[in-house]
C-alpha cells in the first residue's frame, strides 16, 4: 500500500451535488485521479475511450440511458475497465441486472465516503466490494432454496433423467443417452412429477434450478 498506484476514475451521477461531492472526494485523495464526471451516460463509450479510466463509478437512475445499460456496453467494449455501481436501489431486480450487465461492485449510496474510496481500490486490486445487504443477497442467490430439498427425495436414476431434461433433452434423447427405453423414461418422469408436485417438464426444471 506504500506505493499505491494512481487509480483513474470517471463518475456518472445525475445529482449535481453528489457528483460534485464525489469528484472532490476523489480529487483531494492521494492515489486517485479524477478523469471526468458526467450527469448522464449517453456518451459513455466515447468518454471511456478518451479518458481511459481504471474504474467507473456508475449511478443507475440516469437520464436518457440507465447505468445498467451503460455498464453492459462498457463491459462489452472495455472488459478491462471495472464498473462500480453506486446507487440507492437495493431491490433484487436492479442488483442482479447490474451484476449480470458486468458490474464488478455494488455500493448503496449511504456508504460513507471513506468506504467508497476503499471500494474503488478494492475493485482495482481484483476484489468485488458490495454493501453488506447486497453481499447477503448475492450469497443467498447461490444458496439452494428449500424447494431443492424435495430433490433429495428423487432416486439417482430419477435425478439422471431430470438433469438431462434440464439440459434441454427430449424424452427420446434421454432414453438414448441413458440406454433405457422411452417407456422407462416416462415412468421416471411420472414419479418425478409426483414427488415434486408438478405437472410438466418445465415446472420440474424450474424446481431443479431454483
Partner DNA sequence: GGGCGTGTCCCCCTTTTATGGGATTGACAG
Partner DNA sequence: CTGTCAATCCCATAAAAGGGGGACACGCCC
Residues that bind DNA (CB under 7 A): 153, 155-158, 170-172, 178, 180-184, 186-191, 193, 199-202
Least distance (Å) between residue 176 CB and DNA = 11
**Residue window 91-130: x/- pattern of binding to a second copy, with contact defined by CB under 8 A:** -----x--xx-xxxx----------------x--xxxxxx
CA distance 104 to 82: 6
Closer residue to DNA (CB): 143 or 209: 209
Q: All 3 cell numbers of residue 138?
A: 448475492
Q: Which of 77, 153, 155, 170 binds a second copy (CB under 8 A)?
A: 170
Closer residue to a second copy (CB): 25 or 201: 201
CA distance 122 to 4: 12
State how far the alpha carbon of 124 is from the alpha carbons of 17, 51, 76, in Å: 26, 16, 18
Closer residue to DNA (CB): 33 or 150: 150
State how far the alpha carbon of 14 is from the alpha carbons of 40, 86, 87, 172, 185, in Å: 6, 12, 11, 55, 57
CA distance 98 to 76: 13
Q: At what angle do helices 156-166 and 182-196 cross, to 10 degrees?
A: 100
Closer residue to DNA (CB): 136 or 172: 172
**Of 22, 29, 84, whose CA–CA distance to 53 is shortest?**
84
Q: Does 209 engage in binding with a second copy (CB under 8 A)?
A: yes
* Stretch of 16-24, 39-47, 109-117, 140-148 contacting a second copy, by CB under 8 A: 140-148
Biggest CA–CA distance in the chain, Å, is 72
- State the binding partner of 50 from DNA, a second copy, none, CB within 5 to 8 A by kind: none
- Residues found near a second copy in the complex (CB under 8 A): 96, 99-100, 102-105, 122, 125-133, 135-136, 138-144, 165-170, 198, 200-207, 209
Amino acid at each position: 500500500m506504500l506505493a499505491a498506484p494512481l487509480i483513474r476514475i470517471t463518475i456518472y451521477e445525475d445529482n449535481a451535488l453528489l457528483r460534485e461531492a464525489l469528484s472532490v472526494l476523489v480529487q483531494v485523495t492521494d492515489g486517485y485521479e479524477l478523469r471526468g464526471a458526467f450527469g448522464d451516460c449517453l456518451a459513455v463509450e466515447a468518454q471511456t475511450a478518451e479518458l481511459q479510466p481504471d474504474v467507473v463509478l456508475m449511478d443507475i437512475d440516469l437520464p436518457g440511458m440507465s447505468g445498467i445499460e451503460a455498464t453492459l456496453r462498457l463491459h462489452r467494449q472495455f472488459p478491462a475497465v471495472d464498473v462500480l455501481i453506486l446507487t440507492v436501489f437495493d431491490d433484487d431486480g436492479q442488483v442482479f441486472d447490474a451484476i449480470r450487465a458486468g458490474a464488478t461492485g455494488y455500493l448503496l449510496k449511504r456508504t460513507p465516503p471513506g468506504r467508497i474510496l476503499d471500494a474503488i481500490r478494492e475493485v482495482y486490486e481484483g476484489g468485488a466490494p458490495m454493501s453488506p445487504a447486497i453481499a447477503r443477497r448475492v450469497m443467498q442467490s447461490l444458496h439452494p432454496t428449500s424447494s431443492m430439498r424435495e430433490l433429495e427425495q428423487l432416486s439417482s436414476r430419477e435425478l439422471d433423467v431430470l438433469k438431462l431434461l434440464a439440459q434441454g433433452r427430449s424424452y427420446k434423447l434421454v432414453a438414448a443417452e441413458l440406454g433405457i427405453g422411452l417407456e422407462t423414461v416416462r415412468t421416471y418422469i411420472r414419479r418425478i412429477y409426483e414427488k415434486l408436485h408438478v405437472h410438466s417438464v418445465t415446472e420440474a426444471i424450474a424446481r431443479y434450478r431454483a
